[in-house]
Structure 1
Amino acid sequence: MEKLHAPRRRRWILWSLAVAFVLFIVVPVGVAVAAYVTADVPEPEELVNKQVSNIYASDSTTELARIVPPEGNREQVNLDQIPESLRGAVLAAEDREFYTNPGFSVTGFARAVKGQITGDDSAGGGSTITQQYVKNAVVGNERSYERKLKELVISAKMANEWSKNDVLEAYLNTIYFGRNSYGVAAASEAYFGKPLAELVPAESAVLAASIQRPSQLDPWTNRTEAEQRWNYVLDGMVATGYLSQAERDAAVYPEVVDPALNQAYVEATGANGLIKNQVVAELEQIGITQEDLDTRGLRITTTIDIRNQNAAVDSVSRIFQGEDEKLRSAVVSIEPSNGAVRAYYGGDDAAGWDYANAPIQTGSTFKIYGLAAALQQGIPLATMYSSAPVTTGNVTVTNVGGNGCGYCTIAEALKRSHNTSFIRLEQDLENGSQDVADMAHALGMARSLPGYPSTLTENGGQPYEGIILGQYESRPFDQAIALATLSNEGVWHEPYFVEKVTTADNEILYEHTPTTGQRRVSANVANNLMSAMAPIAAWSNQNQLAGGRESASKTGTTQLGDTGFNKDAWMIGSTPQLATAVWVGTVDNTPLLNYWGGNMYGSGLPAQIWKSTMDQALEGKPFESFPAPQPLGFNNAPAPQYVPPAPGSTSRPVEEGPETENPEAEPGEEEGAIEGGVPEVPGVPAPPPPPEQVEILPGISIPNIFN
C-alpha cells in the first residue's frame, strides 16, 4: 500500500516545491523586475531641494536678511566645494562601500523586513547612502513594505543611471544634521560658525557623526555619545584612506557653537526684517515666485547702501538715548536720480510695526506740495500774503503763539511755516485744496494704502482745506519719494529695492533696468521750490548740513487734538544726491515730549536725526547744488536766492512776535492740522487747467496732476 502512495507523495512534494519556487522566487523576482522597469528615476537636476535665499546690501556682500523655507536652513553647493575630509568622514560614517556597492543593501532590506514583522524599530535598515537619499528626496519615510521595496528598486536603478558623484553631491546637500540645518554648508555654519571650505578633519567627523541621530548626538547636549560616534568615524576614515594614522592620533574633539547663539535659522534682525518684507513684496511684483525663493537659493542684491543704512539706524539709536522709551522713528532715504532706496528704517523690531510704511499725519511738511501747485499755476515765490488770522468756514486759523510777519513773501512764510499765509495761498489755487492733493499724488504720494482706498480725499470728494497744513495721512516712504521727485527737477522715478536676483547656479533671474523717469512737474517749478526750502535747515535750530552743504528741507508738527500737546514731528530734506524723510512719534499716540517734558517739534529730534543721517551718508561726496531757479509767473519776479551762512555761524533771522522759551522749538515753526479742527470745503473740483501749464516730456503723460 505504501509503495502505491509513494509516487503520489513525490508528486505532491515536487508540486509544493514548484509552488514555493513560484511564490517565493519567481513572483518576487517578477515583481522586482517589473518594478525596476517601470520605476521612474528623475534626473539629478529635477530633484530640487528647499534652500535659503539671501538678501544683500548694494555691495552684494553684506547680508541683510535670509528667506528660510519651512524645511529649514540649507545652501546648495557643488561636490568640488565640499572638503575631501568631509566627504570621507560621511562615507566612513554611513556607507564605506559607497563607490563599489550597487546602490542598495540586501541584508539591510532583510533587517528592515524583520523589524516590520517583529515590531522591532531598532532592527534598523543598514541603508546605503543612495537609499538614504532616495528616501529623503523621492519616496519619503513611511514605514511600510511597499515604501521599502520602492526605495530598493529606485536606489538600484539610480545607481545605474546616475554617477556616484552625482548621488553623493545630492545626498550631502539633502541630509539633515540637526540644529535646523540641512546639507553640509548649513551644518558647517550651525556647528562651527564657519564656511564649509574652512572645516578641518576633526570638525568634518563631528558633522558626519551627527547624521545617524541628529537630535541625540549633538555634542552640546550629549558629548559622551557624540564623541564615541566621532571616534568611530575617525577610525573609519583611517580604514578607507581619508586620514592617516598619525592624523588620527593627533585629532582632538573640537568645540562647537552654542545652539542658542546659532543665527543660521534667523531670517533677519532689527530694521533689516522690515527691509526683508519690502524686498519680498517687490520680488512678487516682478515675477519671482515663492517657489523660486524656497528652492533656487537666490542671491538678492538690494539698493540699500550699507553706509546710509547704518547712518540712519545709528542716528536714531544715539539721538534717542535718554529720551522717552515710547518714542519711535522712521527714516527713508532715496536717490533722486534713479529711485533707489538707499536707507530704510521703520523700527527696531524685525517682525513689528513698520513706521516707515505707516500712514501718519504730515503737519507743515505738506505746505511744500501746496506751494508746488501754486508755482505750477504761475504764482511766484515773491507773492505777498498776510500772516494775520484767517477764517475758513466756521474755523479761525492762527499761527503758533500768535506770531506773524505782517505781509511777507510766500517764500518767507514757508521758512517761518505760517499756517495763515498758506491757507490764503490755497484759496488762490484754481481748484483750491484739490490742487494740493493732485500735486502731492503727482510727485509720488500713494493714491491708495491698506485701509485707505483713496488717499488725500474726503470720502472720495474734495479734501478739506486743512490738507495744506498736513491734516491727511501719508507714509514717511511717500514723503521721501515726493521729495526725491522735486530734488530731481520734477522727474519721478519709481522707487525700488531690488537691484539684481541670481540663482545658486549664477543664472540671472532679474536685473533692474534704469529708466528715464516721468516728468511730474516742470523743472523750474521744482527748482523754485528747492530754493524756497534752502534756508530752512539752518533756520531750524542750526541743523544745516556739515560744511555748509546745500540742502532743501521742511519741518512739520501735528497736534494731539486740542490737548496742547504734539503727536507727530517731521523733518524732510534733500540734496541733489539724496532725499531723506524723518518722522518721530510715540508707540501709543501719547503726547510727544522731549526729555525735559516740553513739546517736541520737527526742528528738534527729527531734524537732528535727519542731519546726522545725511552728514554720515554724504561724507566724502562732492558738494552739489540745485539748479538756479528762473523767474516765473505773471509779474516775472525773480525767485529769491538763498545764500547759506558761513560754516560755524550761529546767527539766524528772528521772527516777529514773542520768543519761545522752548530751546527745541524753532521760531516760526507752526503746528500742522489740528485733529477735527479743519472745516470741510463743499463742492467738487473745478475743471482742470489748460494742458500747457504742465511741462511734459515727449511721449510721457502726467496722470491726474489736476483732476
Structure 2
Amino acid sequence: MTRNNRYDNNDGDGVETLHAPRRRRWILWSLAVAFVLFIVVPVGVAVAAYVTADVPEPEELVNKQVSNIYASDSTTELARIVPPEGNREQVNLDQIPESLRGAVLAAEDREFYTNPGFSVTGFARAVKGQITGDDSAGGGSTITQQYVKNAVVGNERSYERKLKELVISAKMANEWSKNDVLEAYLNTIYFGRNSYGVAAASEAYFGKPLAELVPAESAVLAASIQRPSQLDPWTNRAEAEQRWNYVLDGMVATGYLSQAERDAAVYPEVVDPALNQAYVEATGANGLIKNQVVAELEQIGITQEDLDTRGLRITTTIDIRNQNAAVDSVSRIFQGEDEKLRSAVVSIEPSNGAVRAYYGGDDAAGWDYANAPIQTGSTFKIYGLAAALQQGIPLATMYSSAPVTTGNVTVTNVGGNGCGYCTIAEALKRSHNTSFIRLEQDLENGSQDVADMAHALGMARSLPGYPSTLTENGGQPYEGIILGQYESRPFDQAIALATLSNEGVWHEPYFVEKVTTAENEVLYEHTPTTGQRRVSANVANNLMSAMAPIAAWSNQNQLAGGRESASKTGTTQLGDTGFNKDAWMIGSTPQLATAVWVGTVDNTPLLNYWGGNMYGSGLPAQIWKSTMDQSLEGKPFESFPAPQPLGFNNAPAPQYVPPAPGSTSRPVEEDPETEDPEGEPGEEEGAIEGGVPEIPGVPAPPPPPEQVEILPGISIPNIFN
C-alpha cells in the first residue's frame, strides 16, 4: 500500500508521479540550455566584443568621400559635393559657451553626465523597430551613442550595428571622461549648412565667432541637430522655432537658464544659407542644379551624412544637350545687351516630369531666378482660358476688345489696339487684356477659378515668403490675376505647361534619377508613375491649339523646320514708369516644355539694346526658340492631338495652319518700334505695378452644366469626358 501511494498522483492514476524525476531532470536541463543560450552566450559575446572593441581618438575617425552629381548620361559631371574637412574648427570644451553646452544637452541627452554611455531602452526600441518594420520605433540614443554612430559604426539599420554601437559607447564611457566625449561630439556633429562642429555652425548660422553666441542663438544650433536640413529656420521657421522652444524649456529644467532669461528670449535671425557654399564645387548654373538635387535627396531619404561619407554617384535628369542649349542661348543672345540683364530657363519633359534643363543664373552660389517668385504678365491668360474651356466656353466664343470698366478701373490694350469682336482664341494670340477680363467675368467663380486652375496644373501653393500663392490675403484674388498680377516661379510655369502639353496629366517634377554608393549599392532609383489627371485631355488639347500660332506671331519665333509648338508671351510693367520689368516666353512641343524669363538684377527698367522697352516677344522668345531648336534637333516632329469641339454651342475649335518655313509675313497689329505684337498690360491708364489693374472680384455668372469632379476644386462638364 505504501509503495502504490508513492506512485499515485492527485488523480490516483499513478502515471505522472512515476515519471516525475525524469521530468524534473528535463526541466533543469532545458533551463540550463536556455541560460547558456540567452544569458551566457550573449554576455560572453558582449564581453568579447567589449574587450576587442577599439575606441579611436576623434581625429582618427574622419572618413569622408566626395560625392558626384552627373547629368542623365551618368558621365558628364555637373557638380561635386566635397566633404567639409576644412569646415571644422577643433575647439576645447572651455572655449564652448556654457549656454551652448547646456542647449545641446537639453536637446539631445539631459542625463548625459549620469548615464553609462548608452540607453538600453533605446536599444530595445531599435530592436522592436527591426522586428516590426516600424522606422519610428528607434531613438533615444545618448550623446555618446550618437558620436559613436556618426564617427565609428555608421547608421545602417541592423541589430549588429546597434549592438556594436552599444558596446563601443559603453567602453568609451569607461575610457574617456564625460567632458572628453562631449568635446568630441560638439566638434564633429553635423549642424546643417555644410558645418560640422559648433565653431563652424556659429559662423554658418550667425556669422560670428563661437565665443559671441548668446543663449537664444545657442538654442537655435542645438535645435538643428535632430534634423539639420529640415530644421533650418531660413526655410522652415515654424518647426525650427518649435524645436527651439523645446530646447529652451529643457535648459530651464536642467539649470542652464533661468526662467526669467527663458521668458525674455527672442528667436534670433540667421544669415542666408546661400552665403555658406564654400565646400561645394560647381560652376555657373550647375551650382543651382546642385541645390535642387540636394533638396530632393533629402526628401527621398538620402542624408547629408550619406553625401559626405559614402562617395555617392548621383545621376540626374538633366540632359546635357538641353542644359548646354539653355546656357549657351542665354549667353549668346545677351551679348551686347545691358549687363544688368538676368534670365531663367527651365525645360521639363511632359511625359514623365523629368527636368531636362535648369538655368537660374551664372553664379553657382548666387540667387536662383528659376526658383524665384516673379509676376507673370500675360502668360497667365492661358490658365484663365483653361478654366473657361473646362466650364464649356469654347475657343470660338466672341468677346469685345473694347476698353472694359470694372469697379473704378478701366482696362485697355496696349496702344489702344483691338479686334472689335473676335474669338477668344484670336484674343489670346493678340493678347488683348480687355477680352480676357470679360472672359474671367464669365467664369463661375471669376478670378478664383483662374487660381484654382493654375494650382491644379502645377503652380506651387506656397513659396518662401508666400504662405499661400495666387490669393489676396487668403481670399479670392483680384481680377488682375488673369493678366499676371501675382507671382509664380519660372519652374512652376514649366511644370504647368508640361501638364497641359501632356493632355492634362501632371507628373511630379524631379531631378534625381538614381543614387549609388562607392560600393555600387543602389540607394535610390526613380520609379516612373502614371501621373495624375488634372484637367480634361480635350481642354488641354484645345488650349494647345489656341497657343499654336503665337510663336510665329511673336516676331517669327516659330521653331526650326516649322516644328509645331504651343506658346505664350508675357510682360509686366515697372510701376507707373512706363517701362517694363519682366518679360516671358513659355512654350512647348509634346516632347519638351520650356519657360523663359528675362529681367534685371536690380529691378530697373528692362530695356533692349536700342533703349526701347523689352517684351516677351523679344529676347525671351529668342532664348526660348534657340533652346528648343538645339534641344530638339534630330528628334521626330510630333504634333499635339487634334482638339474636339466642346462647350455650350459645340462650335468647332479653330485649326491652326503653320506658316511656310521662311515666311516673312508679320502680324498687322505689331508695333514696329518695340517689335511686340501682343497687347501686353503696362502703358495704359489705370495700370499698377506689374502692368495689371487691381480689380476686386465681381458677382459670379450663372453656373455651367453639370460638373464631374477630377480633383478637389477642379471639375469639368460631362461633355468633356
TM-score category, normalised to shorter length: 0.5 to 0.7
Deviation at 1:202, TM superposition (A): 55
The CA deviation string for residues 367-388 of structure 1, in whole angstroms up to 9 with x for no partner, is 0000000000000000011100
Deviation at 1:675, TM superposition (A): 1.6
**Alignment partners' CA distance in 2, 1:249 and 1:587:** 42
Deviation at 1:655, TM superposition (A): 2.8
Q: Is the 8 A contact 1:303 1:498 kept in 2?
A: yes
Deviation at 1:69, TM superposition (A): 2.0
2:130 corresponding residue in structure 1: 116
Deviation at 1:98, TM superposition (A): 40
Tell me the secondary structure at the aligned position of residue 714 of structure 2. coil
Q: Is the 8 A contact 2:145 2:166 kept in 1?
A: yes
**Alignment partners' CA distance in 1, 2:30 and 2:644:** 110
The CA deviation string for residues 146-176 of structure 1, in whole angstroms up to 9 with x for no partner, is 9999999999999999999999999999999
Task: Give the alignment of 1:209-248 within 5 angstroms.
Answer: none
The CA deviation string for residues 310-336 of structure 1, in whole angstroms up to 9 with x for no partner, is 000000000000000000000000000
Deviation at 1:26, TM superposition (A): 31
**Higher mean C-alpha displacement, 337-346 vs 676-685:** 676-685
**Alignment partners' CA distance in 2, 1:235 and 1:460:** 34
Describe the shift of the 1:161–1:365 C-alpha distance in structure 2 as closer, same or farther (beyond 3 A).
same
Describe the shift of the 1:217–1:571 C-alpha distance in structure 2 as closer, same or farther (beyond 3 A).
closer
Describe the shift of the 1:687–1:48 C-alpha distance in structure 2 as closer, same or farther (beyond 3 A).
farther
Describe the shift of the 1:421–1:54 C-alpha distance in structure 2 as closer, same or farther (beyond 3 A).
same
**Alignment partners' CA distance in 1, 2:211 and 2:245:** 22
Describe the shift of the 1:249–1:616 C-alpha distance in structure 2 as closer, same or farther (beyond 3 A).
farther
Describe the shift of the 1:129–1:465 C-alpha distance in structure 2 as closer, same or farther (beyond 3 A).
closer
Q: Is the 8 A contact 1:274 1:354 kept in 2?
A: yes
The CA deviation string for residues 355-403 of structure 1, in whole angstroms up to 9 with x for no partner, is 0000000000000000000000000000011100000111100000000
Q: Is the 8 A contact 1:518 1:700 kept in 2?
A: no
**Alignment partners' CA distance in 2, 1:108 and 1:700:** 47
**Alignment partners' CA distance in 2, 1:103 and 1:252:** 34
Deviation at 1:693, TM superposition (A): 3.4
**Alignment partners' CA distance in 1, 2:133 and 2:423:** 92
Q: Is the 8 A contact 1:312 1:609 kept in 2?
A: yes
Deviation at 1:136, TM superposition (A): 15
**Alignment partners' CA distance in 2, 1:495 and 1:149:** 41
Describe the shift of the 1:603–1:198 C-alpha distance in structure 2 as closer, same or farther (beyond 3 A).
same
**Higher mean C-alpha displacement, 154-163 vs 62-71:** 154-163
Task: Give the alignment of 1:415-430 within 5 angstroms.
Answer: 415-430=429-444
Q: Is the 8 A contact 1:655 1:667 kept in 2?
A: no
The CA deviation string for residues 29-72 of structure 1, in whole angstroms up to 9 with x for no partner, is 99999999465369999977121111111011111111122216
**Higher mean C-alpha displacement, 643-652 vs 525-534:** 643-652
**Higher mean C-alpha displacement, 454-463 vs 1-10:** 1-10
The CA deviation string for residues 451-479 of structure 1, in whole angstroms up to 9 with x for no partner, is 10100000111100000000000000000
**Higher mean C-alpha displacement, 1-10 vs 467-476:** 1-10
The CA deviation string for residues 605-645 of structure 1, in whole angstroms up to 9 with x for no partner, is 00000000000000000000000000001111100000101
Describe the shift of the 1:391–1:306 C-alpha distance in structure 2 as closer, same or farther (beyond 3 A).
same
* 2:282 aligned residue (259, 268, 271): 268
Equivalent residue pairs, number = 707
Describe the shift of the 1:561–1:640 C-alpha distance in structure 2 as closer, same or farther (beyond 3 A).
same
Identical aligned residues as a percent? 99
**Higher mean C-alpha displacement, 258-267 vs 513-522:** 258-267
**Higher mean C-alpha displacement, 350-359 vs 137-146:** 137-146
Describe the shift of the 1:66–1:248 C-alpha distance in structure 2 as closer, same or farther (beyond 3 A).
farther
Deviation at 1:651, TM superposition (A): 1.3
Moved over 2 A (4+): 1-48, 72-266, 655-674, 676-707
Describe the shift of the 1:440–1:685 C-alpha distance in structure 2 as closer, same or farther (beyond 3 A).
farther
In structure 2, stretches of 5+ residues that fail to align are: 1-14
Deviation at 1:485, TM superposition (A): 0.3
Q: Is the 8 A contact 1:442 1:705 kept in 2?
A: no
Describe the shift of the 1:424–1:42 C-alpha distance in structure 2 as closer, same or farther (beyond 3 A).
same
Deviation at 1:288, TM superposition (A): 1.0
Q: Is the 8 A contact 1:524 1:629 kept in 2?
A: yes
Q: Is the 8 A contact 2:574 2:690 kept in 1?
A: no
Q: Is the 8 A contact 2:344 2:361 kept in 1?
A: yes
**Alignment partners' CA distance in 2, 1:704 and 1:225:** 44
Deviation at 1:208, TM superposition (A): 40
Describe the shift of the 1:291–1:643 C-alpha distance in structure 2 as closer, same or farther (beyond 3 A).
same
**Higher mean C-alpha displacement, 667-676 vs 324-333:** 667-676
**Alignment partners' CA distance in 2, 1:10 and 1:636:** 93
Tell me the secondary structure at the aligned position of residue 720 of structure 2. coil
**Alignment partners' CA distance in 2, 1:680 and 1:241:** 56
Q: Is the 8 A contact 1:369 1:436 kept in 2?
A: yes
Deviation at 1:259, TM superposition (A): 27
**Alignment partners' CA distance in 1, 2:195 and 2:720:** 56
**Alignment partners' CA distance in 1, 2:685 and 2:324:** 31
The CA deviation string for residues 177-202 of structure 1, in whole angstroms up to 9 with x for no partner, is 99999999999999999999999999
Q: Is the 8 A contact 1:359 1:473 kept in 2?
A: yes
Q: Is the 8 A contact 1:51 1:76 kept in 2?
A: no
**Higher mean C-alpha displacement, 37-46 vs 511-520:** 37-46
The CA deviation string for residues 292-313 of structure 1, in whole angstroms up to 9 with x for no partner, is 1111111111100000000000
Describe the shift of the 1:250–1:13 C-alpha distance in structure 2 as closer, same or farther (beyond 3 A).
same
Tell me the secondary structure at the aligned position of residue 15 of structure 1. helix
2:498 corresponding residue in structure 1: 484
Q: Is the 8 A contact 2:533 2:710 kept in 1?
A: yes
Q: Is the 8 A contact 1:175 1:182 kept in 2?
A: yes
1:463 corresponding residue in structure 2: 477
Computing the radius of gyration over CA atoms, which structure comes out larger, 1 or 2?
1
Describe the shift of the 1:398–1:284 C-alpha distance in structure 2 as closer, same or farther (beyond 3 A).
same
2:298 corresponding residue in structure 1: 284
**Higher mean C-alpha displacement, 38-47 vs 163-172:** 163-172
**Higher mean C-alpha displacement, 152-161 vs 435-444:** 152-161
The CA deviation string for residues 244-271 of structure 1, in whole angstroms up to 9 with x for no partner, is 9999999999999999999996521110
**Alignment partners' CA distance in 2, 1:258 and 1:629:** 48
Describe the shift of the 1:590–1:177 C-alpha distance in structure 2 as closer, same or farther (beyond 3 A).
closer
Q: Is the 8 A contact 1:184 1:196 kept in 2?
A: yes
The CA deviation string for residues 212-256 of structure 1, in whole angstroms up to 9 with x for no partner, is 999999999999999999999999999999999999999999999
* 1:657 aligned residue (671, 680, 692): 671
Deviation at 1:696, TM superposition (A): 3.9
**Alignment partners' CA distance in 1, 2:124 and 2:566:** 80
Q: Is the 8 A contact 1:573 1:579 kept in 2?
A: yes
Deviation at 1:654, TM superposition (A): 1.3
**Alignment partners' CA distance in 1, 2:667 and 2:530:** 40
Describe the shift of the 1:605–1:2 C-alpha distance in structure 2 as closer, same or farther (beyond 3 A).
closer
**Alignment partners' CA distance in 2, 1:453 and 1:233:** 26
**Higher mean C-alpha displacement, 93-102 vs 626-635:** 93-102
- Verify: 1:594 aligned to 2:608, yes or no: yes
Deviation at 1:110, TM superposition (A): 45
Deviation at 1:689, TM superposition (A): 6.6
Deviation at 1:431, TM superposition (A): 0.5
**Higher mean C-alpha displacement, 617-626 vs 651-660:** 651-660
**Higher mean C-alpha displacement, 172-181 vs 394-403:** 172-181
Describe the shift of the 1:160–1:318 C-alpha distance in structure 2 as closer, same or farther (beyond 3 A).
same
In structure 1, stretches of 5+ residues that fail to align are: none
- Verify: 1:377 aligned to 2:391, yes or no: yes
Describe the shift of the 1:4–1:262 C-alpha distance in structure 2 as closer, same or farther (beyond 3 A).
same
**Higher mean C-alpha displacement, 484-493 vs 41-50:** 41-50
TM-score by length of 1: 0.66
Describe the shift of the 1:76–1:671 C-alpha distance in structure 2 as closer, same or farther (beyond 3 A).
farther
**Alignment partners' CA distance in 2, 1:212 and 1:465:** 45
Describe the shift of the 1:218–1:13 C-alpha distance in structure 2 as closer, same or farther (beyond 3 A).
same
The CA deviation string for residues 535-563 of structure 1, in whole angstroms up to 9 with x for no partner, is 00000000000000000000000011111
Q: Is the 8 A contact 1:384 1:408 kept in 2?
A: yes
Q: Is the 8 A contact 1:442 1:702 kept in 2?
A: no
Tell me the secondary structure at the aligned position of residue 689 of structure 2. coil
The CA deviation string for residues 506-557 of structure 1, in whole angstroms up to 9 with x for no partner, is 1111111101000000000000000000000000000000000000000000
**Alignment partners' CA distance in 1, 2:196 and 2:370:** 35
Q: Is the 8 A contact 2:117 2:170 kept in 1?
A: yes
Q: Is the 8 A contact 1:659 1:667 kept in 2?
A: no
Tell me the secondary structure at the aligned position of residue 473 of structure 2. coil
Deviation at 1:76, TM superposition (A): 24
The CA deviation string for residues 112-143 of structure 1, in whole angstroms up to 9 with x for no partner, is 99999999999999999999999998799999
**Alignment partners' CA distance in 2, 1:366 and 1:387:** 18
Tell me the secondary structure at the aligned position of residue 599 of structure 2. strand
